[in-house]
Every structure is written in C-alpha cells, then in structure tokens.
Amino acid sequence: MSMAIITYRPIGVIRSGHAHPEKTPIQPLYAKGCQGRAEIFPEYADGLRDLEGFSPVCLLYHFHRSEPMRLIVKPFLQDVERGVFATRAPCRPNPIGLSIVELVGREDHVLHLNGLDVLDGTPLLDIKPFIPCFDRVDNPSGGWTEKIDEETACRRGQRSA
Amino acid sequence: MSMAIITYRPIGVIRSGHAHPEKTPIQPLYAKGCQGRAEIFPEYADGLRDLEGFSPVCLLYHFHRSEPMRLIVKPFLQDVERGVFATRAPCRPNPIGLSIVELVGREDHVLHLNGLDVLDGTPLLDIKPFIPCFDRVDNPSGGWTEKIDEETACRRGQRSA
C-alpha cells in the first residue's frame, strides 16, 4: 500500500517573471519584490475561502523543469557535495518545491504573491496557510548553511547579477 | 505539460506510535514527546548525508488514509466552515502533509524524530532541511487561527484526552 505510486493533479499554475531556471532566485529571501500570481483552476476556487487572512502562505509545487534526480549535489550556496535531502536543490527523487511567500491579496481564484522564487508555468500542488503557532521554530540548527556568510549567500541566492 | 498527471514514489515510510487517524495529534506542537522514525529506503540513503546537522527538518508525506477531498471543511480547531486551503486538513485535492519535526539523530538510513504528528505507515515523499535564514518568518498573519485561544487549541490539537 504505502509503496504504491502516488498520483497528483495540479490545482493551478504559478505565474511569475522568472522564465529561466538558471536566473530564478533560489528562495523567497532572495526574491524580494518579485511579484506574481497563483492561478487556481476554477473547480478548486471554493477551497480558497478565508485564505486571504493569512500571510505568508506555503506553496507546494512540482519542479517541472528540474534536472534528473541526483542524491549527491553541490548546493547553490556552497561548492561542497551534500546529500540532496540536506539541501533544497530541485533534483530530488520527488521534485516537490516548497516556498513560503507573501500573500498580497486574492481576487476570486487568483492569489497575488510577493517574494516569488518560482519559475513561470510551474504546476501548483497545494497551498497551506502558515500558522504562526504551528510553524514558528525556536532555536533551529542550520547545519552546513550556518557557515555561509551573508554576502556570499545573497550573491549566489539572487542569481540575477 | 503543466496540467499532466504527476507521479511520485515514496522514498521511505514513517514509523510512529499513532495507529488511529482520529487519535493522532494534529501538529508537532501537540505531539511533544511523540518519538518515531523515518525509514528511508536504502537506495536513497546517500541523499541523507549531512542532514544530521539540521533540526528541525520538514517532512513531506502522503496522507494515505485521508478522507475524500472536500473543498469546504471544519478545521480541527474550530467549528466554522473554511476553505480547505485555509486549513491544514488532510482531505485536500492533493493530500500532501507537511510537518516540521525535531531530528534527534540519524543511523544510516533511519532518522530518529521527536514531535511526530504523523500516522504509522505513512509514505514519505521528501525531506527538506529547515534553513533558518530561508524559513524564519517575521510578523506572520494567522488569519482565523489567531482567534483560537490556547487552551482550546491545546485540547483539540492533542486529541488524546
């Protein structure tokens, strides 16, 4: 049962100004001011009721243009090989992306977003509200990322320079 | 392209003490002390390298025993109907769960976890490190959840009383 293939259908599509994977910011942190939309298919629009009270929201989406799976990768931020599950690289066994982005507003089945680090045309799988009492984390340990200085992270993260 | 069916295969299975959906805590916040494991299939074990420096980690998994999709739901915390995307209810169009849990340690392809709010036997889709500089959120707006008092949330969230 648990080993069966799992099938999903997109609930909508993400529209952004990012047309090229190699120029797309790697995280919302490096995508400040990048506006875009999540266009939910009309048949799912009822599910958006009351979402407009939340910001940020968590987008789960399919990395539709990711490279084939690799288990060992060099992350964007560092030229050191890491296990793919210790990175956010797209070339994962199941290429699911997670971005926590600002919800600016909703018009019917369209969400207006800010801080969008997602390629234009990306299939959207799910939207979850960020719920402060559930999702706030105290004293996280950031593993290898704690050794990256801010200037390097910013330069490599924006990818537009 | 983006509208095609998307297929994933589990990368492992989550083992917990939660055998019944109706008694499973609804979030890690209400699952403190609930220990368990993520057993990654050996063919993906190389992808775990360096993950042990991170805690918490984000688990993405398939709600394999969720009820059929409903777009309007009464969330666990409140007897008011909400759009499913404004809740974390499992009966979503794509029943993907997200839990941010403490990583206690790793033994080869087994992760030891704490604060586990996931049913035993749940198929695991992905593991992502929680990266403090990416995932820390300032000043979130919690929508309808901000009106739930802590005692009610705790009582309803633990579900074991």
In sequence order, the 6+-apart residues with CB closer than 8 A to the CB of B149 are: none
| The token pair that represents B155 in the structure block | 């009582």
Using pLDDT thresholds of 50, 70 and 90, give the confidence band for residue A154. confident
Q: Are A17 and A106 in contact (CB under 8 A)?
A: no
pLDDT at B3: 62
- A94 in contact with B at a CB cutoff of 8 Å? yes
- Are A127 and B85 within 8 A, CB to CB? yes
Q: Is the pLDDT of residue B157 over 70?
A: yes
Distance CA A29, CA B128 (A): 17
Considering only CA atoms, which of B8, B19, B159 is closest in space to residue B77? B159
In the predicted model, what is the mean pLDDT of residues B92-97?
A: 98
For residue B66, the one-letter residue type is S
How far A86 CA sits from the closest chain B CA (Å)? Answer: 5
Q: Which residues of A touch B5 (CB under 8 A)?
A: 7-9
For residue B15, the one-letter residue type is R
- A132 in contact with B at a CB cutoff of 8 Å? yes
More confident residue, A76 or B96: B96
Q: Is the pLDDT of residue A161 over 60?
A: no
pLDDT at B160: 57
Q: Is the pLDDT of residue A2 over 80?
A: no
pLDDT at B152: 80
pLDDT at B103: 96
Alpha-carbon distances, residue A59 vs A44, A148, A155, B58, B110 (angstroms): 15, 26, 24, 14, 28
Using pLDDT thresholds of 50, 70 and 90, give the confidence band for residue A35. very high
Considering only CA atoms, which of B47, B64, B16 is closest in space to residue A2? B64
Q: Are strands A57-62 and A12-16 parallel, antiparallel or unpaired?
A: unpaired
Mean pLDDT, rounded, of chain B: 91
Using pLDDT thresholds of 50, 70 and 90, give the confidence band for residue A31. confident
- B136 in contact with A at a CB cutoff of 8 Å? yes
Q: Is the pLDDT of residue B161 over 70?
A: no
Q: Are B93 and A128 in contact (CB under 8 A)?
A: no
Q: Is the pLDDT of residue B1 over 60?
A: no
- Are B9 and A143 within 8 A, CB to CB? no
- Are B143 and A123 within 8 A, CB to CB? no
In the predicted model, what is the mean pLDDT of residues A41-54?
A: 97
Percent of residues, chain B, with pLDDT higher than 90: 65
- B105 in contact with A at a CB cutoff of 8 Å? no
| Best residue of B81, B133, B147, B151 to probe chain A, by most A CBs closer than 10 Å | B133
Distance CA B108, CA B143 (A): 41
Considering only CA atoms, which of B38, B39, B49, B27 is closest in space to residue B113? B38
B68 preceded by a cis bond (ω within 30 of 0): no
Q: Which residues of B touch A85 (CB under 8 A)?
A: 44, 47-48, 51, 126-129
Q: Which among B1, B29, B133 has CB closest to A153? A: B133
Q: Are A148 and B131 in contact (CB under 8 A)?
A: no
Q: Is the pLDDT of residue A40 over 80?
A: yes
pLDDT tens digits for A61-97? Answer: 999 999 999 999 999 888 999 999 999 999 999 999 9
Partnered with residue B36 across adjacent β-strands are: B113
The alpha carbons of chain A give a radius of gyration, in whole angstroms, of: 16
Distance CA B95, CA A79 (A): 36
- Give A42's Cβ-side CA count (13 Å radius): 0
Q: Which residues of A touch B121 (CB under 8 A)?
A: 1-2
Q: Which among B51, B98, B130 has CB closest to A85? A: B51
Q: Which residues of B touch A128 (CB under 8 A)?
A: 85, 88, 98
pTM of the complete model: 0.93
pLDDT tens digits for B37-67? Answer: 999 999 999 999 999 999 999 999 999 999 9
Using pLDDT thresholds of 50, 70 and 90, give the confidence band for residue B77. confident
- Are A142 and B54 within 8 A, CB to CB? yes
- B60 in contact with A at a CB cutoff of 8 Å? yes
Distance CA A109, CA A44 (A): 8
The burial of B153, by beta-carbon neighbours within 10 Å (0-12 exposed, 13-18 middle, 19 or more buried), is given as: buried
Distance CA B135, CA B103 (A): 16
Q: Is the pLDDT of residue A43 over 80?
A: yes
Q: Which among B51, B64, B96 has CB closest to A86? A: B51
- B21 in contact with A at a CB cutoff of 8 Å? no
pLDDT tens digits for B108-154? Answer: 999 999 999 899 999 999 999 998 888 878 889 999 998 888 788 77
